[in-house]
Structure 1
Amino acid sequence: MGHVKDYEPKIEAEVARLAELAGDLSVPVPTCPGWTLAELVTHVGRTHRWAVHVLRNRAQERIWSREVPSGLAEGQSGDAAWLLSGAGELLRTLRETDPEMVVWTWGPDKRASWWPPRMLFELVIHRVDAELALGIDPVVPAATAVDGIEEFLHNLPYAAWVTRPLAELGVEGATIHLHANDADGEWTITQGPAGTIEWARGHAKGDVAVQGPVSELLLMIYGRRSPDALTVYGDRALLDRWLTAAAF
């Protein structure tokens, strides 16, 4: 993971891009079934305000984003200006917060430094959702995508909404190998007991292996790209079932 300060310019760039895409908010978002761009923008902006609340109040216990005031009336959706205003607050808060401060997170690290990468990749993936909705081919810079895959794998064992469906697959011990062909990135994911996973960098043989651009590998593990866009070796059915269960 990069240093906290490395995330700020990326968060700023991603939010500017999402705001730019948030013109016609009635456009449906196929990768978030049931949502239009209005729901997407509202979700992202609420997430920023939630992170600000957690950090400013040094929350030590779980608080849900819906419990945090969003500045929107009941049933009202956010727009680009509202999104940018919340992101500005988020960036200010991240700059002013000691990364070592102990604070609640849903991941393995109970420090403020957990939040900047989480906010970045939440933005990256939803910016991709908006681009796909508008028929734009999304691109994630390779270094960001490498970081994004590791952030996803690092947090995955703590995402209870994912570990349950993974446990139900009954594939303990199965291995999935990801191999970027345009960046220094290879990872092996091993399915552990009770839906947990372990992962390691480096070359290995998996029950299924997926090769392709690292940006596409990132979008695949987030369920935004079909493995059809990549090269798959081995147990394709295992990959499909795993990706469905692991969807964030």
Structure 2
Amino acid sequence: MPTCPGWTVSRLVAHLARVQSWVVNALADPSGRQVEADRPPRDWEELLPWWDERREEMLTGLADPETPAWLPFTRYPQVARSWARRQAHEAAIHRLDAEHALTAEPPLVFDPEFAADGVDELIAWMVPTRRDWSKSAHSGVAVVHATDVDRAWAVRLSSGMPPEITAEVVAGDVTIAGPADAVYRRVWGRPSSAVVTGSTELLEPLAAP
């Protein structure tokens, strides 16, 4: 997922509309065989109503959390509630991008529990299965600590192995610490006040897609 510099509001809307069309198609075809995103209109006046339609279709499809659905993320249960979680954070991060496109310091602050869930989704759900870890040369411990909700993720990296993730504060080789809102922004690659100390190269395999 690209970071906010260079994004325009129209590009963000087109991106969200395209992704939400993908979710609609994933709900319609739980096998995943024919799931592709639709192409949004280029014209702004056509794009907005097209996005409204895709969003409403998606929300209707997500109404039953246990509806079978295809997801490309193998760790997730293949049901609608997994898409609901994924799209909540997709929309939240891109809302932040839109606000950054309008002002350097947007007033938006995420609820700490929601922000912590967004950290958990990336670190505990996406990171372990999204790459071929047999080719990784990273070794060490990365600690992510959301101090205001007392939640932590210790990611133990070993060369050629998938990471081991535990919910604890330990001495790490690199640490990201701060309020959940700041940590959420940092792990998803957005401007943040979270404090990062230690060997930052160990954060590369944890970077948001």
* Superposition TM-score tier, normalisation by shorter sequence: 0.7 to 0.9
Shift in Å, 1:215: 0.8
The corresponding residue for 1:103 is 70
Where structure 2 has 5 or more consecutive residues not aligned to the other structure, the ranges are none
Q: Aligned in 2, Cα 1:223/1:54: closer, same or farther, shift over 3 Å?
A: same
Q: 1:16-165 to 2 correspondence within 5 Å?
A: 31-61=3-33, 63-65=35-37, 68=38, 70=39, 72-73=40-41, 75-76=42-43, 79-95=47-63, 97=64, 99=66, 101=68, 103-112=70-79, 113-135=81-103, 136-153=106-123, 154-160=125-131
Normalised to the residue count of structure 2, the TM-score between the two structures is 0.82
More helix by share: 1
Number of residue pairs matched by the alignment: 203
Where structure 1 has 5 or more consecutive residues not aligned to the other structure, the ranges are 1-29
Alpha-carbon separation, structure 1, partners of 2:74 and 2:109: 26
Alpha-carbon separation, structure 2, partners of 1:198 and 1:47: 30
Q: Does the 8 Å CA contact 1:142/1:215 hold for their aligned counterparts?
A: yes
Shift in Å, 1:56: 1.6
Q: 1:7-18 to 2 correspondence within 5 Å?
A: none
- Identical-residue share of aligned pairs (%): 26
Task: Write out per-residue CA displacement over residues 132-175 of structure 1, whole angstroms, 9 at most, x where no aligned residue.
Answer: 11111331110101111111121122324xx67x955x222x11
User: Helix, strand or coil: the match of 2:164?
Assistant: strand
The corresponding residue for 2:178 is 212
Q: Amino acid of the residue matched to residue 105 of structure 1? A: P
Q: Does the 8 Å CA contact 2:27/2:69 hold for their aligned counterparts?
A: no
Alpha-carbon separation, structure 2, partners of 1:120 and 1:195: 30
Q: Aligned in 2, Cα 1:36/1:182: closer, same or farther, shift over 3 Å?
A: same
Q: Aligned in 2, Cα 1:62/1:212: closer, same or farther, shift over 3 Å?
A: farther
Q: Aligned in 2, Cα 1:211/1:151: closer, same or farther, shift over 3 Å?
A: same
1:231 aligns with 2:199: no
The corresponding residue for 1:247 is 208
Q: Aligned in 2, Cα 1:50/1:188: closer, same or farther, shift over 3 Å?
A: same
Alpha-carbon separation, structure 2, partners of 1:35 and 1:230: 23
Alpha-carbon separation, structure 1, partners of 2:138 and 2:16: 33
Q: Does the 8 Å CA contact 1:157/1:195 hold for their aligned counterparts?
A: no
Alpha-carbon separation, structure 2, partners of 1:187 and 1:62: 36
Alpha-carbon separation, structure 2, partners of 1:247 and 1:103: 21
Shift in Å, 1:225: 2.4
Q: Amino acid of the residue matched to residue 33 of structure 2? A: E
Alpha-carbon separation, structure 2, partners of 1:240 and 1:138: 29
Normalised to the residue count of structure 1, the TM-score between the two structures is 0.70
User: Helix, strand or coil: the match of 1:89?
Assistant: helix
The corresponding residue for 2:187 is 221
Q: Aligned in 2, Cα 1:59/1:180: closer, same or farther, shift over 3 Å?
A: same
